[in-house]
Structure 1
């Protein structure tokens, strides 16, 4: 879960959007509760209304 702003309800950042490679748990990347990370906001899902977030689009593509 990611809090974008204080007072805002947290949004889900799916495991598939954490990194370019497959990750089973955020701790594999050193991400812990309370750690600041950068994510990109893609708007809201038109069906569910939930926020769409991604961390992997901000990373350089693997070579």
Structure 2
């Protein structure tokens, strides 16, 4: 199962969509845009999981795609 994450950058003024929590796949100015892109990529690559972090780098939400 592939895992995708949406995480803030160091200053929490941009958001990264990462695959397997390694190198950023894409970066976004808005968190909602990163979440939408993450949901789309995870949906296209089932089975997968999307983990969303808040601005403090704490897990805020997890979504599974089967």
TM-score range, shorter chain: under 0.3
TM-score (norm 1): 0.26
Larger helix fraction of residues: 2
TM-score (norm 2): 0.25
